[in-house]
Structure 1
Amino acid sequence: MMCLPASPPAPALRLGLGLFVLLCLGIGQAMEKKVVRSKVGEKVSLPCCHRIPSSESLHTYRVYWQKNITEVVLAYSEGNMISRHERYQNRTEMDPWNLTLWISPMEILDNGSYKCIVQRNSIVVCDQSVILFVTADFSKPNITAEVTADSCDVTEMVITCSSHGGFPKPKISGALNNMSVEWNANWVSESSFSPYNVTGKLLLNVTKDVDITCSVEYNGFSKSTSLLIKKTNDCVVPPVPPPYNVITASIIIVITFILATTLAARYLSRHVCSHCCKHQDSVEDGVKEYTKAPMSSKGTADTSSV
């Protein structure tokens, strides 16, 4: 006769399932990573995964706060601080009940992953990570426009957008008359944990007034600037000089007119003078004839009287 294993009683089954659920919840809590965001110069709190009951005290626990696994930020044992990293001197403190780690003022180098490890009687009570994102504000973007070529129809410009002093590495975007444009961006930083300077350039052909916007986006934050660029060239077309043939013909006409006027003036002056001279000669001849006639008659009278 084959013996079959007896089925476990129902209460034991429920207890086993309950322990399994608790174990899964504990693993999930250990693997869960909280995210905290802060800015340079602020005070930030990193939560721990355990709170000491009011019936106990910190003296019965060991607490370790470490960064990136290798750096021990600070450690407590039997209620006393036993270690603190030199970079966190005078910038950190821990709440004795909820074990929250306070850091102030924030620095860019504080960016990273932290872990709170709590032990009681050499047994790990909890082990949880916290991701800290540190942000440094960028300056308000500055937009400049440089004209590289100008004509009646189009003005070629190089648009430059720049911002500095921020963290982490930003994304630069923009819009031209509410239409998205892509900047040719360049980033400068001394290291991966140093402030960034960003510059974006855009080649633009302006045929009319345009409104351009530049935005610098970093770690969920954004700063923007807009600039109205006007097409200032009214394009006044200069008068076109007449062709060479027209100029030559005009000069010949003017010279001919001057010569004709001069010749006409000389001819008229000579004609008037000759007419005046002939009239004067006829007058003089008349006077002479008139003078001679009486003298002849007188001589005759005298002769006859004799």
Structure 2
Amino acid sequence: MAGLPAAPPALRRWPGLGLCLLLCLSSGYVLEKKVVQSKVGEEVILPCCHEVPSSELHRVYWQKNTTEVVLAYAEGRMISKHERYENRTKMDTRNLTLWISPVEILDNGTYQCVVQRKRSQNSVVVCDESVTLFVTADFSRPNITAEVSANSCESTEMVVRCSSHGGFPKPRMSGALNNISVVWNVSWVSESTFSPYNVTGSLWLNVTRDASITCSVEYNGFAKSSSLLLKKTNDCIVPTVPPPYNVITASSIIIIIFLLAVTLAARYLPRHVCSHCCKPQDSAEEGVKECKKSPVSSKVSSETSSV
């Protein structure tokens, strides 16, 4: 069986060239993915990809989102500037970096630095690099409130709300109840894509004991948090439970028997005790008999004693 003919040397070089081109493009793509972060009101510096000697004739264009020219320089002199960046931008003519101060939310986006070098009658692009600016505006510290909706001896039902405002970009809200994660019902309000956000979260809780609730607002790598102690109310009145019917019946019988015993004792006990003595309350006839017997006995005893 005849073997396949060998490929020409020129063709054998193409896979290696293709791999090299792929690596170069990949490396270039990685280099272009530059990211700069800044907060509203701060100063930010966006890097360019080329340093031009002062002796060379060149043009530099800084543009945003490939449609909006921020500023343009030719031979070291500014020839154009966007009105929105007036008095807020400048370019370093040595390293071609773009300075923005103070930063605004609308500055958020991708910027492109294009450098052209003039050769005879034509211009050649020697640098074209992008950098992404992420602008952050701080949210206010979350405000947590709790409203009691129902109360019982066992638990207290509460509606807890957490709110924060004035930040950018769109945040994420998280929370924890005694270090156990909870999920807020979150709503956001913003006038436009590049306007500050107001965020509000609500939560229904059934509190059986004192607990600590935490609310966190997270945005672009930053976070603001607050905590609130939720107290279970203690003004619980335990209702009085009436005794069972059989207990009432037994108690009534005992009371009646006790009253009868007291009545009988009060009626018969004094007569039995005073039957051997002369008392004013005894009958007149019995009193006379008892009083007559006493002197006789005394007389007989006296006579016996004399004998």
Percentage identity across paired residues of the two chains: 69
- CA deviation digits over 1:112-136, x for unaligned, max 9? 0100001111111110100000000
Name the Cα RMSD after superposition: 3.5
Q: CA deviation at 1:241?
A: 5.6
The question of whether the paired residues in 1 share the 8 Å contact of 2:216 and 2:224 is answered with yes
Look up the match of 1:96: 93
Look up the match of 1:285: none
The question of whether the paired residues in 2 share the 8 Å contact of 1:59 and 1:77 is answered with no
- Give the partner amino acid of 1:69: T
Look up the match of 1:65: 62
Look up the match of 2:172: 171
Distance 1:158 1:115, change over 3 A: same
The question of whether the paired residues in 2 share the 8 Å contact of 1:167 and 1:196 is answered with yes
Q: CA deviation at 1:79?
A: 1.7
SS of corresponding position for 2:84: helix
Look up the match of 1:203: 204
Look up the match of 2:221: 220
The question of whether the paired residues in 2 share the 8 Å contact of 1:30 and 1:127 is answered with no
**Match runs of 1:103-142 below 5 Å:** 103-121=100-118, 122-142=123-143
SS of corresponding position for 1:193: coil
The question of whether the paired residues in 1 share the 8 Å contact of 2:159 and 2:202 is answered with yes
- Give the partner amino acid of 1:109: L
Count of aligned pairs between the two proteins: 245
Q: CA deviation at 1:88?
A: 0.1
In structure 2, C-alpha distance between the alignment counterparts of 1:23 and 1:58, rounded to whole Å: 35
In structure 1, C-alpha distance between the alignment counterparts of 2:202 and 2:210, rounded to whole Å: 19
Question: Structure 2: which 5+ runs fail to align?
Answer: 1-5, 264-279, 285-307
In structure 1, C-alpha distance between the alignment counterparts of 2:148 and 2:21, rounded to whole Å: 69
Q: CA deviation at 1:146?
A: 0.5
- Give the partner amino acid of 2:133: L
**Match runs of 1:147-186 below 5 Å:** 147-186=148-187
Q: CA deviation at 1:27?
A: 7.3
The TM-score with structure 2 as length reference comes to 0.70
Q: CA deviation at 1:59?
A: 5.8
SS of corresponding position for 1:57: coil
The TM-score with structure 1 as length reference comes to 0.71
Look up the match of 2:44: 44
- Give the partner amino acid of 2:194: F
In structure 1, C-alpha distance between the alignment counterparts of 2:207 and 2:56, rounded to whole Å: 73
SS of corresponding position for 1:29: helix
Question: Structure 1: which 5+ runs fail to align?
Answer: 262-274, 280-306
The farther-off stretch of 111-120 and 56-65 is 56-65
SS of corresponding position for 1:87: helix
The question of whether the paired residues in 2 share the 8 Å contact of 1:171 and 1:216 is answered with yes
